Amino acid sequence: MSVRTLPLLFLNLGGEMLYILDQRLRAQNIPGDKARKVLNDIISTMFNRKFMEELFKPQELYSKKALRTVYNRLAHASIMRLNQASMDKVSTFLKDKVQNSNGRFVLPVSGPLPWGTEVPGLIRMFNNKGEEVKKIEFKHGGNYVTAPKEGSFELYGDRVLKLGTNMYSVNQPVETHMSRGSKNLASRTQENIAPNPLAKEELNLLARLMGGMEIKKPSGPEPGFRLNLFTTDEEEEQAALTRPEELSYEVINIQATQDEQRNEELARIMGEFEILDQPKQSASKGDDLLAMMDEL
Amino acid sequence: MFRRERSISLRGSAAALCNNLSVLQLPAHNLTYFGVVHGPSAQILSAAPEGVPLAQRHLHAKEGAGVSPSLITQVHWCVLPFRVLLVLTSHRGIQMYESDGSIMVYWHALDSGDASPVQAVFARGIAASGHFICVGTWSGRVLVFDIPAKGPNIVLSEELAGHQTAVTDIATEPAQGQDCVADMVTADDSGLLCVWRSRPEFTLLIRIPGFGVPCPSVQLWQGIVAASYGNGQVRLYEATTGTLHVQINAHARAICALDLAPEAGKLLSAAEDTFVHIWKLSRNPENGYIEVEHCHGECVSYTQVCGARFCDPSGNSFAVTGYDLTEILRFSSV
């Protein structure tokens, strides 16, 4: 509905992704300089000027599929490589952070209120002159407290809220709920593979957006390395095994669009893609980016 | 005290839109209709007493020119003197159907005219006023449609100017006899309320300014304007003067729905804090001042409520929808 939502969504999910990658890099004892380079490459790609300009243009939200493509591209903007299946899992995990056993998010009925909201439970009545004539309290059922102060909107400042902070700090164990994750993924897959009649339009936007991403070629003899998104290799393999059938697509040759400039950009981007452990079966020519997304 | 009754399953779920539940009570037929919106479609269900589901139908937003999908903003039944119409508002326009959703009788395409490229164009806010149906729009204009007793000869008769920001909700009540009495209230995203009378012509009577938060829902009962706000407050104003008489710190998060049981003067408020509260409106017999008392609070655990309606005119039962919830929850008093 809103044509200004995409930057919020992209930057928030991108930020979450960075927190997770940071935690995983530490957990796997990746050498400091390599870890810093990975994060630096991703952050500089995310905040690349051309990319930001494209992102902030008023436009409709992308579908989940399209957005996942962008993140996948982003995650591979460095020397690091992620197992495809585990990246799917983690995207589910990102959404399913605080859940109870039936899958609903926990919505506490206590805690601080948003700035500008008063503690529920009070009824004030006024006369014609605006003077308060009566005050009644009622039981509202929660246990709330007013916000201590308004969060700062300056570039640096006390935000007051914990929203946007790192939930994956080193001291906390990162849980990977495998069974729940796979169940959710299966149900979400149904949505994801439903044909989107506006796919073509969306993909044109996506092409422009990805054209705005600067790619850093891995320099010199520095080898890429693999990052586990789960604590053990066994879990990584399990993730690959429990990946729903529907998500294992064939690799299809891609025909770039007519536009000259886009051709070059896309060809360059295509060259950067490195898919691990995927069975390569060539099929007839695909349409455009749709095919490329399908293979993720 | 209320207890949970049997839920009604939805094919799909409810979108996180305000006022995302409409109910048509048909006691004479032992039927209740429910309407819920999600994306480009609206689900219309009928249920027998005890919530036994009978029939369901999916209505879709009419596509027009333009590439982005048309999303539905609201679905609402309008009870007119000689007929009931089901109205659907979307990003393209306004669709009107027979009450069971079986036949579309009218389509009005929105004019995006002077909208800037970043402006979302949509219709939202639906209410019946006499033999008119009033529908709000993204620009703040309220469209007034003249509805004949039967047939598809519906005509856009005028556009009311009063709001500068997108309309959120419209409430009406039958004019109590006289012609000069306030019988319609419109609300918008800035929190501004406009109070109107519909006869002899639609006339703006008074403006009630906002205070920096949106007003997603509004109700009108016996000259009392009940408005709910994004900061969790419910405010009651005298319709004729616009004077604030009651301020309730009702919820901990934005209120998304208000409904009224006119026979009992009961008001229902539902918010993203998972709570539904029921209030009793009244007037002080001595001075006529508006008063309110809290009747009941219900916590709908882990549910970001997005729609709530009474299911009977006395307010003894209500239904609730929640974001991403695949059922309509029902409650009735014991």
Q: What is the DSSP string of B34-51?
A: EEEEETTEEEEEEE-GGG
| Element of type H or E holding A236 | helix A233-242
For B10-25, give the DSSP string.
-SS-B-S-TT--EEEE
Q: Pick from A282, A193, A290, A292: which is nearest to A244 by CA?
A: A193
Residues from chain B that touch A126, judged by Cβ atoms under 8 A, are 243-247
For residue A62, the chain B residue with the least C-alpha distance is B68
Please indicate if any CB of chain A lies within 8 Å of the CB of B249.
yes
Question: Is the Cβ pair B232, A120 closer than 8 Å?
Answer: yes
Strands A80-82 and A225-227, bridge-based pairing? parallel
Nearest C-alpha neighbor of A276 from the set A240, A243, A242, A222: A240
pLDDT tens digit at each of 296 positions of chain A: 677 888 998 898 889 888 988 988 888 898 999 899 889 988 998 898 988 998 898 887 877 888 888 888 777 777 667 766 666 655 444 444 556 666 677 788 999 999 999 999 999 999 999 999 999 999 999 999 999 999 999 999 998 888 888 877 644 444 443 333 333 433 343 343 444 545 555 666 666 656 555 444 444 455 566 676 666 666 666 666 665 544 444 343 333 334 444 445 544 554 455 444 334 343 333 344 444 555 44
Nearest to B251 among A4, A120, A125 (CB): A120
N-term to C-term CA, chain A? 27
User: What tens digit of pLDDT does each residue of B13-43 get?
Assistant: 999 999 999 999 999 999 999 999 999 999 9
- Select from B162, B204, B203, B197 the least CA-distant residue to B180: B197
Q: Do B252 and A60 touch (CB under 8 A)?
A: no
Segment A209-244, tens digit of pLDDT: 565 554 444 444 555 666 766 666 666 666 666 655
A195 and A250 Cβ atoms separated by less than 8 Å: no
CA distances from A136 to B178, B248, B278 (A): 35, 9, 15
Question: If you search the block for the tokens 């992308």, which residue do you land on?
Answer: A62
How far apart are the CA of A201 and the nearest CA of chain B, in angstroms? 7
Residues of A in Cβ contact (< 8 Å) with B296: none
pTM: 0.79
Q: Max CA-CA distance within chain B?
A: 60
- B266 with B237: CB under 8 angstroms? no
Q: DSSP letter at B298?
A: E
Distance of CA A46 to the CA centre of its chain: 12
Given the cut 0.90, state whether the ipTM is greater than it: yes
- Residues forming a β-bridge with B330: B5, B319
Residue A44 has φ and ψ, to the nearest 5°, of: -70, -25
Inter-chain touch A140–B290, beta carbons under 8 Å: no
Residue B26, C-beta contacts closer than 8 angstroms, at least 6 positions apart: B32, B33
Burial class (CB in 10 A: 0-12, 13-18, 19+), B153: exposed
